[in-house]
Amino acid sequence: MSWTKIASNLWTVSQSLQFLGLEVGSRMSVIRLPSQDLVLISPIELKEQDRKTLHDLGPVRHIIAPNLFHHLAIGSAKALYPEAQVWGVEGLPAKRPDLIFNTLLTQPGSFENVLDYLQFQGFAAILPRGIKLAQETVFYHRSSKTLILTDTAFNFDQASPLRTRLAARVLGAYDTLRPSWLEKWGTRNKDAVEASVRQILTWDFDRVIPGHGSIVETGGKSQFKVGYEWFLGKEL
pLDDT at res. 132: 87
Longest CA–CA span in the chain (Å) reads 48
- Residue 33's domain spans which residues? 2-232
For residue 120, give the CATH number of its domain. 3.60.15.10
pLDDT at res. 122: 94
Number of domain units in the chain: 1
pLDDT at res. 7: 97
pLDDT at res. 25: 76
* pLDDT tens digits for range 95-108: 999 999 999 999 99
Q: Are 137 and 118 in contact (CB under 8 A)?
A: yes
pLDDT at res. 200: 98
Residue 216, classified by CB atoms within 10 Å of its CB into exposed (0-12), middle (13-18) or buried (19+), is buried
pLDDT at res. 2: 82
pLDDT at res. 57: 96
pLDDT at res. 72: 85
Dihedral sign from CA coordinates of 172, 16, 142, 197 = positive
Q: List, in sequence order, every beta strand (DSSP E) within the chain.
A: 2-7, 10-15, 18-19, 22-23, 26-32, 38-41, 60-64, 85-88, 103-104, 109-111, 115-120, 124-127, 130-133, 136-141, 146-148, 207-209
Q: Which residues of the chain have pLDDT under 50?
A: none
